[in-house]
Amino acid sequence: MAGGDAPHFRRLVVIGLGLIGGSLALAARQNALAATVVGCDERQQSLDEGLALGIIDEVEPDPAQAVAGADLVVMAVPVQANAEVLERIRGTLPETAILTDVGSVKGRFVADVEHAFGHLPANVVPGHPIAGSEKNGVGAASASLFERHKVILTPSDSTDSTALSILAAFWSACGAEVLTMPVARHDEVLAATSHLPHLIAFSLVDTLAGEEDNQDIFRYAAGGFRDFTRIAASDPVMWRDIFLSNRDAVLEVLTHFSQDLDQLRGAIESGDGRRLLQVFTRAKAARDHFSRMLSGEAYLTTMNNESVRYRAIAGGPVRGDIRVPGDKSMSHRAIMLGALADGITEVEGFLEGEDSLATLQAFRDMGVTIEGPERGFVRIHGVGLHGLQQPHGPLYLGNSGTAMRLFAGLMAAQSFDAELTGDESLTRRPMERVATPLRTMGARIDTAEGGRPPLRITGNQRLKGIDYELPVASAQVKSCLLLAGLYAEGETIITEPAPTRDHTERMLNGFGYPVAREGAKARLRGGGSLTAMPIDVPADISSATFFIVAAAITEGSDLWLRHVGVNPTRIGVINILRQMGADISLHDEREAGGEPVADLRIRYAPLSGIRIPEDQVPLAIDEFPAIFIAAANASGRTELTGAAELRVKESDRIQVMADGLGTLGVTHEVRDDGIVIEGGPYGGGRVDSHGDHRIAMAFAVAALRASGPIDIDDCANVATSFPGFVELANQVGLSIQVSGETA
Ligand code: S3P
């Protein structure tokens, strides 16, 4: 919550001049938040020190005297001392004064106030700065202690809203970020995140100090011990009081922790390395995720972060020798099939983008042990087709339509219920296309209004094979039904109206699960099993496309792209650009893990507009934003039809691209199922990617040939498919600046 203008108090009284009280008094003085700051403490020495250090203006050892005439009173005494202090100030505290505290336990403070005053006065606003250090005493006070730290205020229904906003503004003026939450919730959260870790640190140091050879233990204690036990040097009296005051919430989380610790003990005793690895990898992932969250980079926090903006300017030539990150479609499938296989699957080249990381996390949430990712390497401990466990909550699939549709097929066949959710863009995407045929197979699936996510899937249904003609050419729907078919009785046969990417079929075959392919049909029989195999994920041709187009439109360019997946169901972009005159050659064509791979060389050559063959559309479905930029740089007109699917991708890619092209001054005409683009010179301007990663990257490429800078809004989602895009682009001759990343 944002505080308003900085308040100015006549008389600010801080009762309890320790580290927190002293720091707050000092911050108030340095930020000119009070005319007089009064220190009150039963220890004269603290008062003298506070005065000498310029932390307070006045001293008053008697709380009853101190609060007379105050307009803000902050209680910063140990939690257990609150009751007595409240009794003493009750008679002299002005009715209009705001009373707050800084304790770690809010329920107890509220109870003490109610006991002393007979009710909870409207001007009492409990507070808790999440700041401190293992140092104690007023001598350690620092005016910057609260800067960029959170302060939680816990108002009740009867709290005066003016008092609340004045106090919030006061803390904001001290540099803190102010949040509000109910008292009980605060105490539960703190029991888990602060109180329990302190208890464990105190206990561990005490245990080790009691060992006979404790000298050696402490002498040889490595960094880990030091890091872990730093907080055991905190103030014992304060912590005694906290545990006595927050008894119930602490006991609850302690019980939980003790059970988990007993399980780990059991795993060590019985040599259950699998269990240990499962806990450790899950914990490591959670810890890494927290670190990224705290630095504003986690997928949950960056998704839909509209503040990331690119400014791209003309540049080139595009030259270099690079490898773009791993294929997104294959990365999702590698995790899924690896998890369902018997044995350990090792994956190289895994895409560490937010979408595939969300898939990885979802399988961890279903009890699968997954090591990594570590520079593209992932080791998946498969649980077999029937080994997934019910997740504790909904499975969050980020921005990924592929994940949601493939998961739908898989979850429909499990013995437990599941809920699939995602970010705001995913919530708008059509899911009926998978729900309807899955229901025909016997699945129970509820969607939100209009067939949109979230999907609620009821487990324990018996699925039957299906013979289904896809109404739209969609690899996602095909794959969804094939995955459900693994569990279905009898045969599942899918016929597609036009070829779409066949990674699921290839990878299933690689895992030893036979999928027959006859023309437009893919068929498999339920009831088999998958055997783990190593997977080498090639570079993503969809990510490579931005560089292919960049080199194809910029004079003097000569670019190598290494180890790119060139599966015939994915090379529509190469076919289309070649037809436009692009100079793209494939070198060292080879096979890696059942997928064709090649090195690509792209040299500049003038492009001409074409009528894009409709049979190429499914084979280039994700590449159109970049192909439109190629068209804008070609001579003559390029015409696309039969591409209505583009309207239901991460954004309406026909309209959003048309809007951006219009801003740049590119002549175009929008059709229901496509677009016509007239090539020619264009300018700069400000375009909105609508949070669509591929549109953001396409306009960054367009800037190479624009006569002015292109500012692109809402680019955070580039991280879903192409982490490191800007660095790689700038390395080969593009010129992109990023702003607003940490907002
Ligand atoms: C994908 C299939 C395509 C594509 C998507 C990935 C896949 O979607 O657009 O980015 O991995 O199966 P459709 O098959 O729905 O067109």
Q: What pLDDT score does 228 carry?
A: 86
Q: What is the DSSP string of 15-72?
A: ES-SHHHHHHHHHHHHTT-EEEEEEE-S-HHHHHHHHHTTS-SEE-S-HHHHHTT-SE
* Ligand 1 near 621 CB (within 6 A): yes
Around Cβ 730, how many Cβ atoms within 10 Å? 15
Pull the structure tokens for residue 114: 């109610």
User: Which atom of ligand 1 lies nearest, measured to the CA of 504?
Assistant: 12
Indicate whether residue 278 lines ligand 1 (CB < 6 A).
Answer: no
Q: Does domain 9-181 have CATH number 2.30.30.110?
A: no
Q: Which amino acid is at 344?
A: I
479 lines ligand 1 (CB under 6 A): yes
Going by pLDDT thresholds of 50, 70 and 90, the confidence category of residue 1 is very low
Ligand 1 pocket test, pick from 476, 569, 648 with the greatest ligand atom count within 8 Å of Cβ, gives 476
Question: From the CA of 400, how far away is ligand 1's center (Å)?
Answer: 10
Residues 6+ apart with CB under 8 A from 248: none
Which residues have CB under 8 Å from 253's CB, separation 6+? 188, 191, 192, 195, 196
pLDDT exceeds cutoff 50 at 23: yes
Q: Determine which residue's CA is closest to atom 4 belonging to ligand 1.
A: 622
In short, whether 46's Cβ falls inside 6 Å of ligand 1 is: no
* Ligand 1 contacts CB of residue 331 (under 6 A): no
CA-406 nearest atom, ligand 1: 12
CB of 425 within 6 A of ligand 1: the answer is: no
Please, what is the average pLDDT of the chain?
A: 93
The C-alpha atoms of residue 477 and residue 7 are separated, in whole angstroms, by: 59
Alpha-carbon span 444 to 405, nearest angstrom: 15
Q: Which atom from ligand 1 is nearest to the alpha carbon of 474? A: 14
**Residues 396-434: tens digit of each pLDDT:** 998 999 999 999 999 999 999 999 999 888 999 999 999
558 lines ligand 1 (CB under 6 A): no
Q: Does ligand 1 have an atom closer than 6 angstroms to the CB of 406?
A: no
Residue 402: CB within 6 Å of ligand 1?
Answer: yes
Q: How many CB atoms lie within 10 A of CB 443?
A: 23
- State the Cα–Cα distance between residues 486 and 525, nearest whole angstrom: 7
Catalytic residue among 622, 688, 711, 713: 622
| C-alpha dist (Å) from residue 579 to 180, 600, 628, 630 | 60, 16, 14, 12
pLDDT exceeds 50 at position 248: yes
622 is catalytic: yes
Under the banding of pLDDT at 50, 70 and 90, the label for residue 218 is confident
474 C-alpha vs ligand 1 centroid, how far in Å? 6
Tell me the binding residues.
Answer: 328-329, 333, 401, 429, 474, 476, 622, 649, 653, 694
Specify binding-site residues for 3-phosphoshikimate. Answer: 328-329, 333, 474, 476, 622, 649
Q: Output the pTM of the full model.
A: 0.77
- The reported pLDDT for the residue numbered 741 is 53
Give 3-state DSSP helix, strand, coil % of the chain, rounded to 5: 45, 20, 35
Distance 244 CA to ligand 1 centre (A): 56
- Which pLDDT does position 302 carry in this prediction? 36
Note the pLDDT tens digit of each residue in 379-388: 999 999 999 9
CA 455–ligand 1 middle distance (angstroms)? 19
424: nearest Cα among 722, 738, 717: 717
Nearest protein CA to atom 15 of ligand 1, as residue: 474
Residues 6+ apart with CB under 8 A from 200: 257
Please give the radius of gyration of the chain, using alpha carbons only, rounded to the nearest integer.
Answer: 31
Q: How far is the CA of 504 from the centre of ligand 1 (A)?
A: 11
More confident residue, 136 or 620: 620
Annotated binding residues for phosphoenolpyruvate, as ranges? Answer: 328, 401, 429, 476, 653, 694
Give the rounded percent of residues in the chain with a pLDDT score beyond 70. 96
Question: Using an 8 Å Cβ cutoff, are 654 and 726 in contact?
Answer: no
Q: Which of 622, 694, 722 to mutate to test the pocket of ligand 1 (most atoms within 8 A of CB)?
A: 622
Contact between 128 and 102 under an 8 Å Cβ cutoff? The reply is yes
Three-state DSSP class for 518? strand
CB-based contact 660:634 (threshold 8 Å): no
Q: How close is the Cα of 607 to the center of ligand 1, in Å? A: 27
Q: Where in the chain is the domain with CATH 3.40.50.720?
A: 9-181
CATH 3.40.50.1240 fits 328-535, yes or no: no
Spatial distance between the Cα atoms of 563 and 582, rounded to a whole number of angstroms: 20
Residue 299 is predicted with a pLDDT of 37
User: What separation in Å is there between the alpha carbon of 476 and the centre of ligand 1?
Assistant: 5
Beta carbon of 365 within 6 Å of any ligand 1 atom: no
Residue 240 has pLDDT above 80, yes or no: yes
Fill in the DSSP letter of residue 585.
E
Specify the pairing of strand 344-348 against strand 535-536. parallel
Q: Does residue 165's CB lie within 6 angstroms of at least one atom of ligand 1?
A: no
**Is the CB of 474 within 6 Å of ligand 1?**
yes
| Res 300 pLDDT > 50 | no
Kindly report the CATH number that applies to the domain delimited by 193-271.
1.10.3660.10
Query: Which atom number of ligand 1 is nearest to the Cα of residue 329?
Result: 11
Predicted local distance difference test score (pLDDT) of residue 2: 40
Q: Which atom of ligand 1 is nearest to the CA of 618?
A: 16
User: Is the shortest distance between the CB of 475 and ligand 1 below 6 Å?
Assistant: yes
Read off the pLDDT of each residue in 549-557 and give the average, rounded to a whole number: 98
Query: What Å distances lie between residue 35 and 38, 57, 92, CA to CA?
Result: 10, 9, 20
Residue with the smallest CA separation from ligand 1 atom 10 is: 622
Residues sharing a CB contact under 8 Å with residue 341, sequence separation 6 or more, in sequence order: 380, 382, 384, 511, 529, 530, 531, 532, 533
Q: Whose Cα sits closest to atom 13 in ligand 1?
A: 474
According to the model, what pLDDT value does residue 301 have?
37
- CATH 3.40.50.20 is right for the domain spanning 308-320+538-742: no
Kindly state if the Cβ of 543 falls inside 6 Å of ligand 1. no
Residue 646 has pLDDT above 70, yes or no: yes
**Residue 212 pLDDT grade (very low, low, confident, very high; cuts 50, 70, 90):** confident
The pLDDT value given to residue 222: 66
Nearest ligand 1 atom to alpha carbon 332: 11
Ligand 1 pocket check for 501: Cβ under 6 Å: yes
What is the pLDDT at residue 286?
80
Rounded to the nearest whole angstrom, what is the distance from the C-alpha of residue 471 to the centroid of ligand 1? 15
Sheet with 72-75: list strands edge to edge. Answer: 58-59, 34-40, 9-15, 72-75, 98-101
List every span in the chain annotated with CATH 3.65.10.10. Answer: 308-320+538-742, 328-535
CA distance 626 to 549: 7
Which residues make Cβ contacts (< 8 Å) with residue 653, sequence separation at least 6? 624, 625, 646, 647, 692, 694, 695
- Chain segment 428-482, per-residue pLDDT in tens: 999 999 999 999 999 999 999 999 999 999 999 999 999 999 999 999 999 999 9
Is residue 393 very low, low, confident or very high in pLDDT (cuts 50, 70, 90)?
Answer: confident
**By alpha-carbon position, which residue is closest to atom 11 of ligand 1?**
329
Residues 346, 352, 354, CA angle at the centre, nearest 5°? 130
Distance CA 645, CA 433 (A): 12
* Span from the CA of 731 to the centroid of ligand 1 (angstroms): 29
Distance in Å, CA 721 to ligand 1 centroid: 13
Locate the ligand 1 atom nearest the alpha carbon of residue 328 and give its number: 11
pLDDT score of 226: 81
Q: Could you tell me the distance, in angstroms and rounded to a whole number, from the CA of residue 623 to the centre of ligand 1?
A: 11
Q: Which of 327, 328, 329, 479 to mutate to test the pocket of ligand 1 (most atoms within 8 A of CB)?
A: 329
Q: Is the CB of 500 under 6 A from ligand 1?
A: yes
Ligand 1 atom at shortest distance from the alpha carbon of 475: 14
Residue 359 CA, ligand 1 centroid: distance in Å: 15
- pLDDT > 90: percent of the chain: 86
Residue type, position 354, single letter: E
